[in-house]
């Protein structure tokens, strides 16, 4: 599918709020309603739009602390067994509060975004869960001061 300027405008509006109606997107972009509807359906079918998500107010939910964990792995365990980085990442993804897990090339191996209610809960996630996973060598925790 060839992405047009109209498609980019539509995607920009969906990115602001994917719950917006076709009529609102049409008004914001100047693209006719039927065109907006048809282009969204085409982008869904072609895989350009993979899914619709939501943005939560974490303060209301009680998860006021956000941190990033830079995780370094060692895929050769002390017992001689090997572990796969993707398996480590998938295990991390299942931990409560983990919002995002990404494999990296460069300084670290895995970058993880974690939300917690306080430092005690973050400490529990890092010390008792992430660091206990086979193949996790060391972690570096970076606490977010402000989000934009």
Domains of the chain, residue spans: 5-46, 58-143
Give pLDDT tens digits for 109-145: 999 999 999 999 999 998 899 999 999 999 999 999 9
Give pLDDT tens digits for 70-97: 999 998 888 889 999 999 999 999 999 9
Which pTM was predicted? 0.78
Structural domain 58-143, CATH architecture: 2-Layer Sandwich (3.30)
8 Å CB contact between 49 and 14: yes
Burial of residue 75 (CB within 10 Å: 0-12, 13-18, 19+) is middle
Supply the pLDDT for residue 80: 87
Supply the pLDDT for residue 83: 93
Q: What are residue 68's DSSP bridge partners?
A: 113, 142
Supply the pLDDT for residue 135: 95
State which fold the 5-46 domain adopts: Arc Repressor Mutant, subunit A (1.10.10)
Supply the pLDDT for residue 38: 97
Question: Which tokens belong to 57?
Answer: 């107010």
* CA 79 from centre of chain: 33
Confidence of residue 147 (pLDDT cuts 50, 70, 90): confident
For 8, the enclosing helix (H) or strand (E) is helix 5-16
Give pLDDT tens digits for 37-73: 999 999 999 999 999 988 889 989 999 999 999 999 9
């Amino acid at each position: 599918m060839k992405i047009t300027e109209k498609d980019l405008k539509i995607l920009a509006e969906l990115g602001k709020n994917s719950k917006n109606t076709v009529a609102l997107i049409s008004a914001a972009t100047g693209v006719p309603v039927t065109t907006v509807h048809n282009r969204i359906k085409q982008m869904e079918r072609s895989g350009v739009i993979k899914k619709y998500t939501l943005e939560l107010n974490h303060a209301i939910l009680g998860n006021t602390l956000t941190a990033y964990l830079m995780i370094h792995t060692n895929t050769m365990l002390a017992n001689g067994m090997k572990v796969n980085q993707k398996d480590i990442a998938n295990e991390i993804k299942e931990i409560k509060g983990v919002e995002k897990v990404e494999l990296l090339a460069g300084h670290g191996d895995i970058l993880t975004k974690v939300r917690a209610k306080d430092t005690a809960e973050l400490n529990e996630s890092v010390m008792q869960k992430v660091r206990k996973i086979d193949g996790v060598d060391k972690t570096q925790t970076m606490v977010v001061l402000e989000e934009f």
